[in-house]
């Protein structure tokens, strides 16, 4: 008994200290930025295997021996690992910071992802946060200036404008746009997306990265990943991101005042008299003999027409999501959004509704499934096509209202009191009436989704099948009432176009990953089926008996056009890609894709698009590791071939029937059809070969990082019309007989200038220069001046006479040699033969910028954040429809830009001396040819934003996770020499209109839009 008692005491003595030394430590791990709980975080006692992981609420509980001397190691993928000394703490609140090391960034490369450190091709990424914080309506606008080599510009300056994007220059004579992929689905554009819904945008720039998209990749690929259920972790979260703002008119061009317009009008009548040898003392033909006009001028009763059609616009964006993980481990996100933009012109508005849902579920270790759907409904109203033109060109002498306060139909036809006559200065319709009685309404419903099922027979193999449908309904309705410029008092007219498009892609993908010692291999194989179907209809009717818009066309007395269309095409593809890594130092990617298209003729349907890329992680070599300055260094080289299928339609290699043709058949009217083309059975894809040499670097522990890329692209088989003998029945045939080159350099730089304590400051910078040149035309090195295409010169150039100022009185004799007069526009006689003809035309500018760049900066101090961004497009020239209207000195009746024009000595108005703008009324034959080309280089401060995150303790009391309020201003400053509206949309050409753009294409003033500054206040909220 005594021995048993002694043994019990010994055990008790040993157990009590042990129990005293073990403590249960509990806590919660959250994201350092969003404050969201992090599930699955590994919490481990340092130096032991004793550990646990956090639950769905980020909470953990762990028994820790000797906590006074123990440390916890907290680690989670994508976050910086933390080591925490426990001491006497039993409750821990741990906040993990995201790992800022760029090498850990995951990049979407098409049919898969890679760590940025493993990427061997030229890929750029923009995070969703950077897109959302710009406060733009269109997601592409938010990416302007953020990616080197990606030139983005506004298609128009109007509400709901689309944006143009060109990646590393233009490869085809017919233009082209990049391939857009949203959540794995190929779409025509990304205008349907709400910027708040974007998680990330990856841009594939070189042929080695785009070749896996085969015949569609040569213009680059834009891959958008929206917020998905698969990324959701933790408990249910409701998020709201929204802003409201006003758009104010800004930087209005300097138009003539009422007195200046009247002086100009008189001058436009004086000049012809002076040329005829007269020098009058009065000029009643200008309208001054009309007492009404004389009274308005004398009393300065002028109308500011611009104020009548302009207004302060508004912007709103609301985006609400619910996300989380259910009890049975289904990750989900459901979202809805509304965007509204009221334009700065009356009768201009844009609305868009978005709905989305995404769910992912890992059924077990081998099976996973998921689905996502994104729906958008957008509507744009633009009103009258002539509203902008007439509103700004209307003379201030005109009054919009009569004596009774009613709108005047044609204000430029001013009645002469006491008579039935009028002084007709212009027959243009009152823009207030024109806009009120016009409709230009586009309504688009767009739905895209995918459904996938994944099976993993073993841990290193994934087999996935994805079905991705897409459906689009487009309706464009136009209506012109009686009181519009289009109808001029006649009965109304209207038209409607409907398009229905449906397509689907079925991708079967296998991915195998295996590591053997220092060797890592990933194989990706793809089989893909795609089908596209399009139906369209169009009807135009005139003489409608009612003001019934475009909804009751059947009541019209005349149906001018009734058309319908159909097309269907399919594409079958196979792709194989191998990624090989040795010691994570030597990286190789080999890929090829085979595309077979129904668009091409037998024997030409299939084509392959191979690529190869290499990378060397120099920073992993011992001779680099010893250099403390270098944090990471990787050299890349890639070569590949990508295709362009934009320029062949569904039946482009077949002979089709034309529209009906009436002809004389033995004295009677016959109806028949002719073939619309001579088909080319050898026609195939345009192909672009590209070499890219790149260097990715990070210095000073990653505080300085960036990349440098030099590339050389050569597009062969460029499609163009080749002349053939007229005996064939046609004068030309489409053929692969052109070649285009693009060579350039891209630089990007990111610096963390200050990082310590409560203050951080970072900046980013990028620069790109591209040299575009035509190499061959018609398989020869010959110029085609009629198309303004020249060997060794860019595709998009302005080819015309060279403006040389204004003929001065001292040059009268020389001007007469060229049948010109002092005061008229002078052009250069380049061959000095005394004759001006086509031999004196030259390239006077290029329409694409010579270089572009961007800069942004971000400052954080405690709970405050301040950011600003700007971008630049330099060295390009456009034909300006603004100047074609407002410095058209052959026109007498409208308002003009207030410029210094030439005016000879006369008895009525002051003499003017100018070598920049010619005289009114007779500006010379060459002024309309050369006077409207303008340099539109600019630097634009895109946005400045100031935000504040409310304190955590306060949020806890009101049951919120995060709350940030901010103010944002868009386009506050623009630096440019362009004296029209916004230089970004100065060309007035909207590529989204669907018409082919050539060097002779001129834009519309209706597409330019005035310059604006937008002021926003917004909130980012989670609870």
pLDDT score of 494: 95
pLDDT at 622 over 50: yes
- Average pLDDT (113-134) is 90
Per-residue pLDDT tens over the stretch 678-727 = 888 888 989 999 999 999 999 999 999 999 999 999 999 998 888 788 77
Residue 77: DSSP 8-state: T
CA–CA distance, 961 with 96 (Å, rounded to integer): 16
Strands 704-723 and 413-415 turn out to be: unpaired
In a domain, 150, yes or no: no
Mean pLDDT of 889-901: 94
Structure letter (DSSP) for residue 407: B
The pTM assigned to this predicted structure is 0.89
pLDDT at 254 exceeding the cut of 60: yes
69-78, 304-313, 851-860, 1003-1012, range with the lowest pLDDT: 69-78
Tokens of 406: 């009613």
* pLDDT of the residue at 725: 81
Mean pLDDT throughout 21-30? 85
Q: What is the CATH number of the domain that holds 27?
A: 2.60.40.1120
Q: What is the pLDDT of residue 162?
A: 86
What per-residue confidence (pLDDT) applies to 14? 43
- pLDDT at residue 21 in the model: 61
Q: What pLDDT is recorded for position 995?
A: 64
pLDDT at 1: 45
Domain boundaries, position 41: 22-96
pLDDT of 11 over the 50 cut: no
Mean pLDDT of the region 417-430: 90
Predicted pLDDT of residue 197 = 94
* 548 band by pLDDT with thresholds 50, 70 and 90: confident
Span 731-773, pLDDT tens digits? 888 889 999 999 999 999 999 999 888 899 999 999 999 999 9
Of 983, 988, 990, 989, the C-alpha closest to 935 is 983
Q: Which of 669, 671, 667, 683 is nearest to 722 (CA)?
A: 683
Chain centroid to CA 38: 35
Structure tokens at 1018: 């917004």
Alpha-carbon gap, residue 792 to 715, rounded angstroms = 14
Distance CA 455, CA 462 (A): 6
- Does residue 118 carry a pLDDT above 50? yes
By three-state DSSP, how is residue 928 classified?
A: helix
User: For residue 799, what are the contacts with CB-CB under 8 A and spacing of at least 6?
Assistant: 785, 788, 790, 841, 842, 843, 844, 999
32 assigned to some structural domain: yes
Helix (H) or strand (E) holding 414: strand 413-415
Q: Count Cα neighbours of 584 within 13 Å in the Cβ-side half-sphere.
A: 9
Is residue 763 packed enough to be buried (19+ CB in 10 Å), middle (13-18) or exposed (0-12)?
middle
Tell me the backbone φ, ψ of residue 400, rounded to 5 degrees: -75, -20
Assess if residue 438 is contained within a domain.
Answer: no
Calpha distance 486→490 (Å, rounded): 9
Q: What is the mean pLDDT of residues 1-13?
A: 44
Q: Answer whether residue 57 is part of any domain.
A: yes
Percent of the chain with pLDDT over 70: 96
Q: How far apart are CA 740 and CA 174, in angstroms?
A: 11
Domain-located, residue 722: no
| Integer Cα distance of 797 and 866 in angstroms | 41
DSSP of 578-646: EEEEETTTEEEEEEEEEEEETTSPTTSSEEEEEEEEEEEEGGGSHHHHT-TTEEEEEEEEEEEEEEE-T
pLDDT of residue 1002: 85
pLDDT at 531 (0 to 100): 96
Give pLDDT, residue 535.
96
Q: What is the pLDDT confidence band of residue 19, given thresholds at 50, 70 and 90? A: very low
Q: Judge whether residue 728 has pLDDT over 80.
A: no
Per-residue pLDDT, 77? 63
Q: Which residues contact 355 (CB under 8 A, 6 or more apart)?
A: 335, 336, 337, 373, 374, 375, 376
Q: Please compute the mean of the pLDDT values over residues 925-954 and round it to a whole number.
A: 95
Helices 258-275 and 291-298, axial angle in degrees (round to 10): 130
Q: Domain total for the chain?
A: 1
pLDDT in tens, 178-237: 999 999 899 999 999 999 999 999 999 999 999 999 999 999 999 999 998 777 777 788
Strands 877-879 and 933-935: antiparallel
The closest alpha carbon to 472, from 534, 528, 545, belongs to: 534
Q: What is the DSSP string of 868-910?
A: EEEEEEES-EEE-HHHHHHT-TT--SS--B---B-B---SSS-
Residue 848's closest CA among 312, 8, 125, 152?
152
Among 51, 158, 212, 93, CA closest to 1003: 158
Q: Does residue 599 fall inside a structural domain?
A: no
C-alpha span between 224 and 139 (Å, rounded): 10
Euclidean distance between CA atoms 32 and 30, whole angstroms:
6
Which tokens go with 915? 């070598």
The mean of the pLDDT values for the chain is 90
Residue 65's pLDDT is 85
Question: Is the torsion defined by CA of 694, 699, 701, 704 positive or negative?
Answer: negative
Say which DSSP state 793 is in: S
904 domain-assigned: no
What pLDDT was estimated at residue 584?
86
Q: Give the per-residue pLDDT at 659.
A: 76
Q: What percent of the chain has pLDDT over 90?
A: 67
Q: Which two tokens stand for residue 673?
A: 């059809």
Residue 630 domain flag? no
How does residue 100 score in pLDDT terms, banded at 50, 70 and 90?
low
Q: Residue 229 has what pLDDT?
A: 78
Contacts of 265 (CB under 8 A, 6+ apart): 286, 287, 395, 397, 425, 892, 893
Q: How would you write 950-966 as a 3-class SS string?
A: CCHHHHHHCCCCEEEEE
Tell me the C-alpha to C-alpha distance, in Å, between residue 689 and each of 2, 533, 713, 761, 855.
94, 30, 6, 41, 31
* pLDDT attached to residue 547: 86
């Amino acid at each position: 008994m005594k021995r048993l008692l002694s043994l019990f005491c010994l055990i008790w003595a040993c157990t009590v200290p042990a129990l005293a030394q073990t403590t249960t430590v509990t806590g919660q791990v959250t994201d350092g930025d969003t404050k969201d709980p992090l599930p699955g975080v590994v919490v481990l006692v340092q130096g032991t295997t004793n550990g646990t992981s956090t639950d769905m609420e980020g909470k953990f509980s762990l028994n820790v021996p000797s906590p006074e001397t123990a440390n916890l190691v907290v680690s989670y993928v994508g976050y910086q690992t933390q080591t925490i000394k426990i001491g006497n703490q039993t409750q821990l609140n741990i906040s993990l910071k995201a790992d800022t090391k760029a090498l850990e960034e995951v990049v979407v490369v098409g049919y898969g992802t890679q760590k940025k450190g493993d990427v061997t091709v030229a890929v750029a990424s923009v995070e969703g946060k950077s897109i959302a914080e710009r406060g733009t309506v269109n997601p592409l606008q938010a990416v302007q200036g953020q990616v080197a080599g990606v030139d983005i510009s506004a298609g128009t300056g109007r509400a709901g404008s689309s944006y143009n994007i060109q990646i590393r220059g233009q490869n085809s004579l017919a233009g082209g746009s990049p391939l857009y992929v949203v959540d794995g689905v190929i779409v025509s554009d990304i205008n349907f997306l709400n910027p708040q819904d974007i998680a990330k945008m990856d841009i594939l720039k070189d042929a080695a990265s785009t070749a896996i998209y085969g015949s569609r990749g040569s213009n680059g690929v834009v891959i958008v990943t929206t917020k998905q259920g698969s990324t959701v972790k933790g408990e249910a979260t409701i998020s709201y991101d929204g802003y409201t703002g006003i758009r104010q008119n800004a930087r209005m061009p300097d138009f003539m005042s009422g007195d200046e317009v009247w002086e100009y009008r008189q001058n436009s009548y004086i000049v012809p008299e002076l040329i005829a040898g007269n020098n009058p003392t009065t000029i009643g033909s200008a309208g001054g003999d009309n007492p009404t006009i004389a009274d308005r001028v004398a009393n300065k009763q002028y109308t500011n027409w611009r104020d009548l059609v302009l207004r302060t616009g508004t912007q709103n964006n609301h985006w609400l999501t619910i996300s989380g993980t259910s009890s049975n481990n289904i990750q989900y996100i459901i979202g809805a959004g509304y965007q509204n933009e009221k334009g700065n012109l009356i009768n201009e508005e844009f609305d868009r509704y978005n709905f989305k849902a995404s769910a992912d579920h890992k059924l077990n270790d081998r099976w996973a499934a998921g689905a996502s759907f994104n729906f958008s409904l957008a509507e744009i109203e633009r009103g009258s096509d002539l509203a902008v033109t007439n509103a700004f060109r209307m003379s201030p002498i005109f009054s919009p209202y009569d004596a009774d306060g009613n709108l005047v139909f044609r204000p430029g036809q001013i009645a002469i009191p006491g008579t039935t006559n009028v002084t007709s200065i212009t027959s243009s319709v009152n823009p207030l009436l024109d806009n009120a009685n016009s409709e230009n309404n586009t309504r688009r419903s767009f739905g895209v989704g995918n459904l996938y099922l994944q099976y993993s027979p073993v841990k290193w193999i994934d087999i996935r099948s994805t079905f991705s449908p897409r459906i689009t309904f487009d309706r464009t309705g136009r209506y012109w009432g009686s009181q519009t410029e289009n109808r001029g008092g006649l009965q109304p007219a209207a038209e409607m176009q409907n398009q229905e498009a449906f397509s689907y892609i079925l991708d079967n993908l296998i991915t195998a990953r295996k590591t053997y010692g220092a060797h890592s291999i990933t194989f990706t194989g793809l089989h893909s089926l795609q089908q596209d179907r399009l139906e369209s209809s169009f009807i135009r009717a005139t003489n409608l008996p009612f003001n019934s818009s475009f909804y009751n066309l059947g009541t019209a007395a005349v149906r001018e056009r009734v058309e319908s269309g159909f097309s269907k095409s399919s594409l079958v593809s196979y792709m194989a890609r191998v990624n090989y890594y040795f010691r994570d130092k030597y990286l190789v990617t080999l890929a090829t894709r085979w595309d077979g298209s129904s668009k091409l003729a037998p024997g030409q349907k299939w084509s392959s698009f191979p690529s190869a890329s290499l990378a060397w992680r120099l920073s992993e070599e011992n001779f680099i590791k010893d250099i403390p300055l270098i944090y990471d260094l990787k050299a890349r080289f890639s070569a590949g071939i990508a295709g362009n299928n934009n320029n062949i339609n569904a039946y482009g290699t077949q002979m089709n029937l034309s529209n009906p043709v009436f002809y004389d058949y033995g004295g009677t009217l016959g109806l028949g059809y002719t073939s619309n083309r001579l088909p080319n059975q050898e026609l195939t894809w345009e192909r672009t070969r590209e070499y890219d040499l790149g260097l990715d670097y990070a210095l000073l522990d990653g505080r300085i990082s960036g990349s440098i890329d030099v590339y050389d692209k050569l597009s062969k088989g460029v499609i163009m019309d080749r002349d053939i003998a007229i005996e064939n029945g046609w004068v030309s045939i489409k053929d692969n007989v052109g070649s285009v080159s693009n060579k350039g350099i891209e630089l990007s730089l990111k610096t963390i200038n200050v990082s310590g304590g409560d203050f951080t400051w970072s900046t980013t910078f990028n620069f790109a220069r591209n040299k575009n040149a035509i190499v061959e035309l018609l398989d020869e090195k010959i110029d085609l001046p009629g198309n303004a295409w020249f060997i060794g010169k860019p595709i998009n150039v302005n080819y015309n006479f060279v403006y040389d100022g204004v003929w001065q009185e001292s040059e009268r004799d020389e001007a007469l040699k060229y049948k010109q007069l002092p005061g008229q526009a002078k052009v250069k006689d380049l061959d000095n033969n005394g004759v001006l003809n086509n031999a004196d035309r030259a390239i006077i500018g290029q329409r694409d910028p010579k270089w572009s760049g961007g800069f942004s900066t971000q400052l954080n101090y405690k709970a405050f954040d301040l950011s600003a961004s700007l971008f630049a497009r330099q060295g390009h020239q456009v034909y300006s429809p603004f100047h074609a209207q407002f410095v058209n000195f052959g026109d007498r009746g409208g308002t003009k830009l207030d410029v210094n024009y030439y005016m000879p000595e006369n008895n009525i108005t002051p003499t003017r001396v100018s070598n920049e703008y010619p005289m009114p009324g007779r500006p010379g034959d060459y002024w309309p040819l050369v006077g409207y080309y303008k340099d539109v280089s600019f630097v634009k401060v895109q946005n400045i934003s100031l935000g504040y995150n409310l304190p955590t303790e306060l949020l806890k009391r009101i049951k919120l996770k995060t709350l940030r309020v901010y103010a944002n201003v868009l386009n506050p400053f623009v630096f440019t020499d362009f004296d029209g509206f916004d230089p970004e949309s100065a060309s007035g050409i909207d590529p989204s209109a669907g018409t082919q753009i050539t060097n002779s294409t001129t834009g519309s003033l209706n597409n330019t839009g005035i310059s604006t500054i937008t002021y926003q206040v917004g909130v980012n909220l989670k609870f």
